[in-house]
Amino acid sequence: MKCCNTARKLVQALLFPEACVLCDQWVVNTELSPLCYRCLNSLDPVSPPICEICGIPVPGDVLGRFPMCSSCRAGDAEFDQARAWGLYEGDLRRVIREFKFRSRRRLAVPLAGLLGQCFQSFEHTFEYILPVPSHRDRIRSRGFDQIRVLAKLLSREAGVPIFDGLSRIKNTKPQFGLPSRERSRNVKGAFQLKEPGLVENRKILILDDIITTGATVQEISSVLRSKAGPRWIGVLSVARAAHRYPL
């Protein structure tokens, strides 16, 4: 059976080869396609020192066991800890943009693999994965819900169910186009929690593809805290901005 599968994939790769989105070489491994192993392995993860709470890179002279950015030191974070696999720049940015904006859906597999690696860095076990919900109009225009696709793959690998009780009731403007200070206002009141009982006293992992200022996950965390009282909130994303300001 396994042999059959391998033969089928080989035939598929020969008949419908895809070029790697980064180096343009033909990709033979259909599991990872359209990103070749060499390019996947050359992507750079976030390197320390990072803020212990929000995961943003902090200057090298911030030492000690618990480095924190100024915002987290001021107690601004509504979540307990956020981690991203890499920074939203260079090749990782190109891969995410191909996945998200050009509907190269099969890039979900390698990107979910990166999420799976980063997932291991939490010292907590989670009871639910909560993919940041997209508005139905956005899903329709993009053709798929990219965060949910990633969440399904991570859920399967980590054995943690998806929480479906949060919906997006406002089709907000894309956060990317907005100045930093307007982003919190843009997502205010955008989410509705339908099943607070399921979240109460649970450890929840909010999943996003890219975190820029963190305004969206801050708003979701705030909704969870005020309506349901979760025990611990983690945030995981494929990439995050190196700064809190527009990219």
Q: Which parts of this chain interact with Zn ion (CB under 5 A)?
A: 20, 22-23, 36, 39, 51, 53-54, 69, 72
Nearest to 212 by CA among 167, 177, 166: 177
Residue 191, φ and ψ in degrees, nearest 5: -120, 145
**Are the C-beta atoms of residues 71 and 62 closer than 8 Å to each other?**
no
Task: Give the C-alpha separation, 138 to 145, whole Å.
Answer: 8
Task: Give the C-alpha separation, 45 to 54, whole Å.
Answer: 16
Residue 10, φ and ψ in degrees, nearest 5: -65, -45
Could you tell me the smallest distance in angstroms from the CB atom of residue 64 to Zn ion? 14
Nearest to Zn ion of 72, 166 (CB atom): 72
Could you tell me the smallest distance in angstroms from the CB atom of residue 23 to Zn ion? 3
Residues 6 or more apart whose CB falls under 8 angstroms from that of 73 comprise none
Residue 236 tokens read as: 């995981």
Could you tell me the smallest distance in angstroms from the CB atom of residue 131 to Zn ion? 23
Could you tell me the smallest distance in angstroms from the CB atom of residue 51 to Zn ion? 3
